[in-house]
């Protein structure tokens, strides 16, 4: 049976390097936490078998059992425990495994910022408290409902009281579900940031392919759910390149030998292995794994023909190769939109679905916004006001995500952005929409 050793929340830090553990111990001295240290995943699991842990900070690279494997077992032992992964830049590919296998809630990159780490720990403990409070409240509601069935006096009054309690509970559950959705979205953004932070890959390329996939889906009359799958397939279409040798990652396709091209075309299968635990992403995985199938059956890996290739993969292939020409990765010559379209048009019916090529032609000739280079200027940080809401994801010049779409601007948000601009000498352009006076009144 698990025991609470004190009234203070318990933090468990796991790292095989004594120096790291000592640094964390110094950081949390004087904080309202009880600190537990473990030098291996095995030792940490033994500790968790007898002691209730509120939050875990685990290193990724450890002998015998890495951080992803440890956090996966920790999630089974204590599912409510908030799990944070500490990883170095070289571990970016392994972080994807931890997201799916270890079910981490957030990750911290070494070397960490002490103040930011303290803030992340406080936020993690607050989420832990919310989860526990929700479970206790749900159990309490279940007990009260059971009592309600056996009560015969003052039935009408009691029903009214219980209904009010249920409404409050449902509202809290709704908030929790919304938070889970935000966490799920954050996981996808982590995957995108992994792509953007890899020097051999391109966040801008991924954004452009994603945007074009979504617009092609709209042009073809697809529903919103399929367009969302398309957008994600475009964003993660090159995720599997993390499994290729670094030299091959950086080589343009037109410079590869036949042997290198054969090896390169395996990256969709690497992406399938990386994303396999994410069952909700199966339509996305299918599109990524079939993206190199050709309309005439001469593609890889299964030589599918025509509409036997899933529609999302046929759309992704057109969007991907269009931007490969524009980004000068399919040919040494830099292509304009019209020139890239002409290259795609030459292979319609052979490599590409003619219906998708026709939709691309309408987009290019119609001046449809297809990628990030068409973004209009937003407002500056100095022009931001509390109550505004982000209309689009906010990226820095390196195409790393800073704030997600839908984020409400607070005074603290503005201060953080001001510090970011000062530190990085970069002026941000932010797309926002104003909150209505009615919304502000309701918030108050």
pLDDT tens by residue, 165-224: 767 766 766 666 556 555 555 555 666 666 666 766 777 888 899 999 999 999 999 999
- For strand 34-38 and strand 10-14, is the pairing parallel, antiparallel, or unpaired? parallel
**pLDDT band for position 439 (cuts 50, 70, 90):** very low
* β-sheet bridge partners, residue 230: none
For tokens 């103040």, what's the residue? Answer: 115
Three-state SS letters, 326-379: HCCCCCCCCCCHHHHHHHHHHCECCCECHHHHHHHHHHHHHCCCCCHHHCCCCE
Q: What angle do CA 172, 173, 177 make, to 5 degrees?
A: 120
Q: pTM score, two decimals?
A: 0.50
State how many domains the chain has. 4
* Cα(97)–Cα(92) distance, integer angstroms: 9
pLDDT at residue number 88: 75
Instruction: State whether 356 and 239 are in the same domain.
Output: yes
The answer to whether the beta carbons of residues 315 and 356 sit under 8 Å apart is yes
CATH number of the domain enclosing 272: 1.10.3210.10
Q: What average pLDDT does range 94-112 have in this prediction?
A: 74
Task: Tell me which of 57, 91, 120 is where a domain ends.
Answer: 120
pLDDT value for 368 = 74
Do 182 and 114 belong together in one domain? no
Instruction: Check residue 96 and give its pLDDT.
Output: 66
397-429 per-residue burial string, b: 16 or more CB within 10 A, e: under 16: eebebebeeebebeeebbeebeeebeeeeeebe
pLDDT of residue 115: 93
Instruction: Please tell me which residue, 167 or 154, carries the higher pLDDT value.
Output: 167
Residues 342 and 220 in one domain: yes
Q: With pLDDT > 70 as the criterion, what percentage of the chain qualifies?
A: 81
Q: Does residue 1 fall inside a structural domain?
A: no
Return the number of other C-beta atoms located less than 10 Å from residue 265's C-beta.
Answer: 16
For 56-93, the DSSP string reads: EEEES--SSS-HHHHHHHHHHH-TTSEEEEEE-GGGHH
Per-residue pLDDT at 373:
45
Res 289: pLDDT: 94
- Domain around 219: 202-373
pLDDT of the residue at 92: 63
Do 75 and 146 belong together in one domain? no
């Amino acid at each position: 049976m698990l025991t609470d050793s004190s009234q203070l929340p318990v933090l468990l830090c796991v790292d095989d390097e004594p120096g790291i553990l000592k640094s964390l111990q110094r950081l949390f001295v004087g904080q309202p936490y009880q600190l537990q240290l473990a030098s291996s995943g095995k030792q940490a699991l033994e500790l968790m078998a007898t002691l209730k842990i509120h939050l875990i900070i685990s290193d990724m690279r450890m002998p015998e059992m890495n951080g992803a494997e440890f956090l996966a077992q920790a999630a089974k032992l204590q599912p409510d425990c908030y799990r944070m992964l500490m990883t170095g830049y070289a571990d970016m590919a392994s972080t994807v495994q931890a997201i799916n296998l270890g079910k981490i809630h957030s990750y911290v990159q070494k070397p960490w910022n002490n103040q930011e780490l303290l803030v992340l720990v406080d936020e993690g403990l607050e989420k832990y408290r919310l989860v526990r409070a929700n479970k206790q409240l749900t159990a309490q509601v279940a007990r009260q409902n059971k009592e309600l069935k056996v009560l015969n006096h003052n039935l009408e009054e009691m029903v009214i009281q219980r209904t009010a309690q249920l409404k409050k509970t449902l509202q809290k559950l709704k908030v929790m579900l919304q938070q889970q959705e935000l966490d799920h979205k954050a996981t996808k953004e982590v995957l995108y940031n992994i792509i953007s932070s890899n020097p051999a890959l391109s966040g801008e390329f991924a954004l452009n392919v994603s945007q074009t996939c979504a617009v092609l889906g709209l042009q073809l009359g697809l529903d919103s759910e399929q367009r969302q799958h398309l957008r994600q397939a475009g964003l993660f279409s090159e995720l599997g390149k993390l499994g290729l040798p670094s030299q091959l990652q950086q080589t343009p396709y037109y410079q590869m030998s036949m042997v290198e091209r054969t090896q390169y075309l395996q990256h969709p299968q690497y992406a399938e292995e990386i994303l396999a635990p994410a069952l909700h992403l199966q339509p996305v995985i299918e599109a990524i794994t079939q993206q190199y199938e050709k309309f005439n059956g001469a593609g890889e890996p299964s030589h599918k023909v025509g509409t036997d290739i899933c529609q999302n993969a046929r759309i992704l292939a057109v969007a991907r190769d269009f931007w490969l020409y524009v980004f000068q990765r399919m040919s040494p010559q830099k292509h304009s939109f019209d020139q890239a379209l002409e290259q795609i048009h030459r292979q319609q019916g052979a490599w590409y679905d003619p219906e998708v090529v026709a939709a691309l032609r309408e987009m290019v000739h119609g001046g449809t916004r297809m990628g990030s280079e068409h973004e209009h200027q937003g407002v500056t940080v100095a022009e931001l006001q509390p109550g505004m809401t982000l209309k689009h994801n906010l990226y820095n010049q390196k195409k790393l995500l800073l704030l997600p779409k839908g984020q409400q601007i607070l005074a603290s948000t503005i201060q953080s952005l001001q510090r970011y601009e000062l530190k990085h000498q970069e002026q941000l352009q932010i797309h926002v929409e104003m909150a209505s006076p009615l919304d502000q009144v309701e918030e108050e």
